[in-house]
Chain A
Amino acid sequence: MSEISIKDIIKPENLVYQKTKLMTDKPLSYCPGCGHGTTHRLVMEVIEELGKENDTIGVAPVGCSVLAYEFMNVDMQEAAHGRAPALATAIKRLWPDKVVFTYQGDGDLAAIGTAETIHACNRGEKIVIVFINNGIYGMTGGQMAPTTLEGMKTSTTPYGRDAALMGHPLKITELVAQLPGTYYVTRQSVHTPSAVRKAKRAIKKAFQNQLNDAPGLSFIEVVSNCNSGWKMTPVDANHWMEENMFPFYPIGDIKVDGELVK
C-alpha cells in the first residue's frame, strides 16, 4: 500500500468545510466547550451566506463576549453593560438598510439591561438580538445571574439559589415573546451537531426577517453551558444542561411570524 501524505488530503476537491472569513484568526478567548464560540461562528456564517459582510453592524455586550468584536469580522461597537439594544436601535433607525444585531449574555440582557431589552422589543426595532443564557456571570467569576436556576450554586449563591431570598430565575424570552413588537422569538442550543444545525437555521431566519423588513424584532436565546462557572467538565456540563436547564428553558420556537406558537 502506497503512503498517503497530508498533502494528498488537503486539496480543494476534498474541502468539505472551512471557517467563515467573517471569523477573524484571533484565537477565541472562550473556555473549551463553551457555546459562545459556536454561536459566534453561526452568526458570522449566516451574515456571510446572506452576502451582508459590508452592510452589517454588530453591537457587543459586557460579559464573556465583551471581546466579540475581536472575533467577528464586521463593523462592531462595544456597548456599556446592558445597553446594546439602545445602541442598535439608533444604528438601525439611522441606517435602515443595514443589518444590525446585538450579541448579549444573560446578565447583560436580563439584569442590568432589562429596560433596554424590553423597550427595544416593545418598539419592534427591526434588529436581531442573540442572547446567550448560561445561568451564570462567567466573566466576573461565576456569580448568580438572573437566569440562575433555583438551587443552583454560584459564587454568590454558595448554598444554592433560594428563590425566597434571591428571587426567581427570569424567563426573559417568554416575557419578550408577549410583546407585540417581537416578530420571531426562539430558544435554541449548540451542544450537539443537530442542535447546532437547528440553531443556525433559527439565526438565519432571524436575519432574513430583518432583510425582509419584517415588522418587529427577532430574538434568539441560545441556552449554553458554562462549564468553568458550573465547575464541570464540558461533557458533564452539557448533560447537566439537558437535565436541568432544558426543563426550565425548553428548546424551540416561542413566536413565529408574529404569532405565539401554541
Chain B
Amino acid sequence: MGELKLMKGNEALAEAIIRAGTDGYFGYPITPQSEVMEYLTAAKPWETTGMVVLQAESEVASINMLYGGGGTGKKVVTSSSSPGISLMQEGLSYIAGAEIPILIVNVVRGGPGLGDIQPAQSDYFQATKGGGHGDYRLIVLAPSSVQEMSDFVPMAYDLAFKYRMPAMILSDGAIGQMMEKVEFFEPIPRLTDEEVKARYPWATNGKPKGGERRILTSLDLDPSKMEQHNYDLQAKYRKIEENEVRFEQIQCDDAEYVIVAYGSSARISLKSVKLLREKGIKAGLLRPITLWPFPTKKIDALVKQGVKGFLSVEMSAGQMVEDVRLAVNGRVKVEHYGRLGGIIHSPEEVAEALEQKIIGE
C-alpha cells in the first residue's frame, strides 16, 4: 500500500499532476481551485522533476500555452473554474481541431456569469457538447472523491495522448475543497526530449534531420479537405464511444429505479439509495465516470433489464438528463432533480424526488 494522506481535492489534484510526469502547468487563479497553483508553486517541481509552472495573464493565455506546449508533445495541464473555463473555449476548439493532447480541469462553481463560488454541476453541456465552435468533443472524466482527483490525472493523460485530443476532468467545488484520505500512485517519470520525439512524430519540436516539417493547424481553406478532417474526427469519436465508456453501478442488478448521478451528486445519491432501500424501494445508482463518452449502452441495458424509471440528479437545471433521455428513448420515465446556483441537495431531498417524480404518479 502506498502513502496515505489527508488532503483537499485540489491539493491531491496538484500532487497527482506532479506525480503523473507533467511537463508544464499553466494557470490563472480562480476560486474554488486556486489551491492547485498554490500547491504547485510551493512544491517547486521545477527543482525536482523539471516541470514548468507558470501563472499566465489570463485563462485565454493559459489554454493557448497548452496549445503550444501540447503541440510539442509535452504533457501539459491547466486548471480553472467555470468562468475561466468559458474563456478557454476558443482555445479548446482550436486544440481539438489541431488534435493536440492536453488536460484541462474544471472545478465547477455556480453560474451563469460570475455566479458564485459554491459547488455546482451546471457546466455539463459546455464540457460534453462542445462549448467552443465546431463539431468536436472532449473526453470528460468526473471524479467523485479526493482519491479520484488523483487517480484520474494519469488516466486522463493516457486517453488524451491515445486519441490526440483534449481531456477534461470535470470536478466541482465540493470535491475540490473537501478533505479526504488519498493514496497516491507511484510517480511516473517525465519523458525525456528524445522519448517525446520518438513517441510523438506529429509533434512540432524541431524538424527531424532529413525529414519533413510538421504543421499543427485547425485550418484548411479547402472545404473538401475540411469535411474529410471532420469525418476523421468523428470516426475517432465513434471509436472512443465504443471503447472508453467508464461507469460505476451500485445496486443496479435488482433495481427498479435508478438514480443517474456523477461527482458530488453521486456521493449524495448513494445515501439516497440507502434511504430508499430502507423503505423497501429497489433503488440503484449509476455513476457515469466518463460523461463523454456517455454510458448510453449501459442505460439501454438497464431499461431492458426492467428498470421502471430514472432520476438524473445534478446540481444544475437538468443537463445530463438529456443524455439519459436519449439513452432511454421514451421507453420509461426519466426526470431530473437538482438544486441550483451553488446549493447542494440533501440525500433526503433526492430520495423524496425519486418517490414523487418517478414512482408517485
Contacts and interface: CB of A to CB of B under 8 A. Distances in A.
* Residues of A contacting B: mostly: helix
B56 A80 contact: no
Nearest to B54: A93
Contacts of A88: 68
B91 A115 contact: no
Interface in A37-88: 53-57, 59-60, 66-67, 69, 73-80, 83, 86-88
B213 A74 contact: yes
A90 B91 contact: no
Interface string B296-334: 000000000000000000000000000000000000000
A98 B206 contact: yes
Interface stretch (B59-67, B109-117, B242-250, B351-359): B59-67
B64 A116 contact: yes
Contact of B74 (A56, A78, A94, A119): A94
Contact of B209 (A54, A56, A76): A54
B195 to A, nearest CB: 14
B94 interface: yes
A78 B215 contact: yes
B204 A76 contact: yes
B52 interface: yes
Contact of A86 (B68, B205, B217): B68
A77 B71 contact: yes
Given A66-B219, A94-B23, A98-B206, A80 B61 contact: no
A28 interface: no
A25 to B, nearest CB: 13
Given A76-B213, A77-B68, A80-B90, A90 B218 contact: no
A59 B213 contact: no
Interface centre among B68, B76, B90 (most CB of A within 10 A): B68
B38 interface: no
A80 B216 contact: no
Interface residues of A, number: 33
A60 B206 CA distance: 15
Given A77-B204, A83-B60, A95-B72, A89 B65 contact: yes
A60 B218 CA distance: 12
A55 B206 contact: yes
B207 A53 contact: yes
Interface in B49-100: 52, 54, 56-58, 60-62, 64-69, 71-72, 74, 76, 90-91, 94, 98
B124 interface: no
B176 interface: no
Counting chain B CB atoms within 10 Å of each CB, the highest count among A89, A98, A119 belongs to A89
Given A79-B67, A86-B64, A87-B67, A119 B57 contact: yes
Nearest to A99: B206
Contacts of A75: 204-207, 213-215
A211 interface: no
A90 B213 contact: no
A91 B72 contact: yes
Nearest to B65: A90
B64 A76 contact: no
A77 B213 contact: no
B26 interface: yes
Given A94-B23, A119-B61, A59 B217 contact: no
A116 B215 contact: no
A66 B94 CA distance: 14
Contacts of B65: 86-87, 89-90
7 contacts: A77-B71, A78-B216, A80-B94, A87-B65, A93-B54, A95-B193, A98-B206
